[in-house]
Amino acid sequence: MRVFVICPVRSGNRYIEVEEYVKYLEARGHTVHWPPRDTGQDDPTGYRICSDNHSAILLADEVHVAWDGESQGCLFDLGMAFAEGKKVRRIPGLFPPPTEGKSYPSMVEDWEARR
């Protein structure tokens, strides 16, 4: 299975935990696109990064997401995955819990349950 991992890149929050998750998937034979490692980050505006991530999301069977509740890049990538109809999975312990009412955590929980 091909997996695209959405996670914060610039803030580096929980980097080690996400890296361990990526290693776990790869040890089980999955092909993983992990942006801190697999998307060149030397882009002055971020346009190419978003374009490269979109291309990788298109190839993915699933999108797994770690989000710190703040990263705008994660939200952008989530939007692309949603628009492309991708199956999503929250990475356990690395995604905020759902809230009462409308919020990204609640929407992603609903999205995950529908796929």
* 28-69 pLDDT per residue, tens: 999 999 999 999 999 999 999 999 999 999 999 999 999 999
pTM for this entry: 0.95
Please identify, in words, the CATH class of the domain defined by 2-114: alpha beta
The torsion angles phi and psi of 63, rounded to 5 degrees, stand at -120, 125
What pLDDT is stored for residue 13 in this prediction? 63
Within 13 Å and on the Cβ side, how many CA atoms surround 55?
A: 8
Neighbour-count burial of 70, counting CB atoms closer than 10 A to its CB (0-12 exposed, 13-18 middle, 19+ buried): exposed
Measured CA to CA, the distance from residue 79 to residue 84 in angstroms comes to 9
Residue whose tokens read 């699933």: 62
Domain spans of the chain, in order of start: 2-114
Question: Are residues 90 and 30 in contact, defined by beta-carbon separation less than 8 angstroms?
Answer: no
